Amino acid sequence: MNLISLIGAVEIGLVFALVALGVYISFRVLDFPDLTVDGSFPLGAAVAAAMISGGINPITGTLAAIVAGCLAGIVTAWLNIRFGILHLLAGILTMTALFSVNLRIMGRPNIPLMNQPTVIDLFAWLRPLVEASGLPGRPTLKVLALLIIVSVVGALLARFLTSEFGLAMRATGANPRMAQAQGIPTEMHTYIGVAMANGLVALAGALFAQTAGFADVTVGTGTAIAGLAAVILGETIFRTRSIVIGIFSCVFGAIAYRIAIALALNTGWLGLQSSDLNLVTAVLVAMALILPKVANPMRSLLKRSAT
Amino acid sequence: MISLSDVHVTFGRGTPLEHRALRGLDLTIPEGEFVTVIGSNGAGKSTLLNVLSGTARPERGSIIVDGTDVTRWSAPKRAKLIARVFQDPMAGTCERLSIEENMALAFSRGSVRRFGRALDASRRALFREKLSMLGLGLENRLSDSMGLLSGGQRQAVSLLMSTLTGMKILLLDEHTAALDPRTAAFVLDLTRRIVEEQKLTALMVTHSMRDALDHGTRTVMLHEGTIVFDIAGDQRKSLDVPDMLNLFRQARGDELSDDNLLLGMGAKQAAAVRAGKTASS
C-alpha cells in the first residue's frame, strides 16, 4: 500500500469516525438499532452538495446537512415512539423514503463538487505545516482538517454524555423503567439521541461530499453496518465501559477498519476489488457478533479437557 | 399524605382477558405512616403501587398526594414526590452504569437535568458517605459497574438512591422477594432505618405475612382489587400470622384456597392450615 492510499484510508476513516459516533449513540447508548443512517449519510451529502453547488457558503451547507439529518432521526423516533413501529422497521421506512428525498434535493443522482469551496478551505492556515511535512499537500490537509473536526465533535460528545442530561440518555438506553422511576422523560431522550445520531451521520455525509468531491444517492448503502463495524472493532481493541475511552475507540476503530480494508483491497493475492467492500464489511460484522458466542463453548471445552 | 379514592383500573378492557385489577379502592395514608400491603396473586398489590407511581392510569377515581391531585401526572413527573424500589434487583439500577453514575441519576431526580457534569468531587464525597452507611464496603467501589454487585447489594443501593432527594413517599414492591433470607433481613432492616430516619411515608408490598406484621405501622390486605382489612396500632400488635388468615377468611367469607396466602409459613404449616389443624412448628 502506498502513502497516497494510506492517507486516503485515514481520510475516509475519519469521515466514518463520525458515522461510528452516531451509531455508537443509537446502538450503544440508546440501545436503538437505527438503520436510518443509510439514508441520512447520503442526505447530508445531498444537502451540502446541492447548497454548495448552488453557491451557498459551505459552512451553511454543512450546518443545513446536520439539521436535515436530525430531522430524519426525529421521523424515525416518531414512528417508533408515537406509533409503536419496531425501531428497525421505522429506520428502514425513513431510509427508504430518504432515497427519494435525496434525489429531489439533488435534482439528479450525482453532483460533482470539484473546484467548489468546501469547509476544508477553513483550514487553509494549516498549509505551511503540511508543506513543511513534505507529505502530499491536498490529501494531508484534508486529513488534518477532518482530524480537528472529529476531535472537536468527539470531545463535545464525551462532555455531553458525562453531563446530567447525557447520563439520563444513557440510563434511557440501559434501563428505561428505572430511568422513568428516576424522573427521566425517556421518550424525549430517545428523540434527542436518535436526532443527534443522524445529525452526526449527516455531518459525515456532508464532509464526505466535500472531501471526495461528489455526492451520489447511492453512497449510503451499508453506512450503518460500516459504522457498527468501527464501533465493534474499537470495543474489541479497548475493552472498556468508560465513555471517554469508548468515544476514542469508535474513532480509532473507524480509522483502523478503513486501513484494514485498504490493505485487503491492495493485497493482490486476495483477489478483492473495491466493489467487494460491503461483502467484506458484512462478513466482518457477522464474525464479530458470532465470535463471542462461539468462543464460550470452545473455552469451556478447553477447560474441561484441562481438568 | 396520600389519598386514593374510588380508584378503578382494568387491564385488557373489552377483551376475554379483561382483568379488573382495582375495583373502587379507597385508601388514605397519613404522613409518616409505614403501610405493609399483603394479598394473593392478582389481588392488585402491584397495580396499587403502579397507580401511585404513575405507570398505570386509573380509569376512574383520584390520587391526591400532599393536597395535590396527581391523577393525571406522568411517572417521571411524580418521581419528584415518589421513589420506588422494585422486586427485581436488576430493575431498580442500571447494570451498564457504574455505582456512582446510578447514584448521580437518582441525585437529580425531580430536578431538571442540564449539561453540568453528572459527577464531581463533592458529589462523589456525598455518595461515598451515603454508601458507607450500608456497611458493605461499596464506598470504595464507586466506579465499579452496577452489574458486578449481588442482588442484595443492588437492592441496598436502590434503597439508598431513593433517599438521595427530598422525596416523601417510598414504594417498596416486594423488594426482598428475590433475596436470600439473610440478605432480605438486612435489606428490611435498612428499609426500617431509612424510613424512620427520613420520616417517610412508605408502602411495602410483601408476600410474607410475617414481614407484613413485623414491619411498619399499619397493614392492609387486598383481595380482588379492594381492601378487605386494614389494621393498625394495638390491634395489629396483638396479631399473629394465623389470626391474619382468620381475619382474611372472615372478611371474604369464603374458603381459603390460595397457597400464596400462606406464604410466610412453611409448606408443612400451610398443609396443616388447609387440613384445618392448628399450625405447629
Predicted ipTM > 0.95 = no
The more confident residue out of A257 and A274 is A257
Q: Do A183 and B76 touch (CB under 8 A)?
A: yes
Label residue A2 by pLDDT band (50, 70, 90): confident
From the list B86, B97, B114, the residue facing A174 with the nearest CB is: B97
Residues of A in contact with B145 (CB under 8 A): 241
**Region for B227 from its dihedrals, namely left if φ exceeds 0, alpha if ψ lies in -120 to 50, beta otherwise:** beta
Residue of chain B nearest A28, judged by CA positions: B96
Q: B248: how many CB neighbours lie within 10 A of its CB?
A: 20
Mean pLDDT taken over chain A: 91
Q: What number is the average pLDDT over the span B6-28?
A: 88
Q: What is the pLDDT of residue A307?
A: 44
Whether the per-residue pLDDT at A98 is higher than 60: the answer is yes
Q: What number is the average pLDDT over the span A292-305?
A: 60
Whether the per-residue pLDDT at A130 is higher than 50: the answer is yes
Pick the closest to residue B83 from B171, B3, B158, B2 (CA basis): B171
Pick the closest to residue A34 from A252, A189, A225 (CA basis): A225
In percent, how much of chain A has pLDDT > 90? 70
In percent, how much of chain A has pLDDT > 70? 96
* Residue A196 distance to chain B (closest CA, Å): 15
Alpha-carbon dihedral sign for residues B91, B92, B94, B99? negative
Counting one residue from chain A and one from chain B, the pairs whose CB atoms sit within 8 A come to 93
Whether the Cβ atoms of residue B24 and residue B224 lie closer than 8 Å to each other: no
Q: What number is the average pLDDT over the span A2-11?
A: 91
H-run or E-run covering B271 = helix B267-274
Chain segment A210-262, per-residue pLDDT in tens: 999 999 999 999 899 999 999 998 988 888 778 899 999 999 999 999 998 88
Q: Do A165 and B53 touch (CB under 8 A)?
A: no
Residue of chain A nearest B167, judged by CA positions: A182
A133 CB contacts (<8 Å, ≥6 apart)?
A: A140
Sheet (strand B201-205) strand order: B82-85, B169-173, B201-205, B34-39, B218-223, B226-232
The rounded distance, in Å, linking the Cα atoms of B118 and B100 is 9
Q: What is the pLDDT of residue A299?
A: 57
Within chain A, strands assigned E span: 110-112, 214-216
For residue B39, list its beta bridge partners.
B222
Residues of A in contact with B75 (CB under 8 A): 180-181
Residues 62-121 of B with CB under 8 A from A: 74-77, 79-80, 83-84, 86, 90-98, 101, 104-106, 108-110, 113-119
Residues of A in contact with B80 (CB under 8 A): 183
Q: Is the Cβ of A163 closer than 8 Å to some Cβ of chain B?
A: yes
Q: What is the DSSP string of A71-90?
A: HHHHHHHHHHHHH---HHHH
Q: Do A170 and B97 touch (CB under 8 A)?
A: yes
Q: What is the pLDDT of residue B39?
A: 86
Q: Which string of b and e fits A187-205 if b means at least 16 CB within 10 Å? A: bebbbbbbbbbbbbbbbbb
The rounded distance, in Å, linking the Cα atoms of A216 and A204 is 14
Whether the per-residue pLDDT at A140 is higher than 80: the answer is yes
Domains and CATH numbers, chain B: 2-239 (3.40.50.300)
Is the CATH code 3.30.160 the one for domain A3-276?
Answer: no
Q: Do A163 and B116 touch (CB under 8 A)?
A: yes
Q: Where does B74-230 have alpha helices with state H?
A: 75-78, 99-107, 121-132, 151-162, 181-197, 209-214
* Residue A190 distance to chain B (closest CA, Å): 15
**DSSP class of A54:** T
Whether the Cβ atoms of residue A20 and residue A251 lie closer than 8 Å to each other: yes
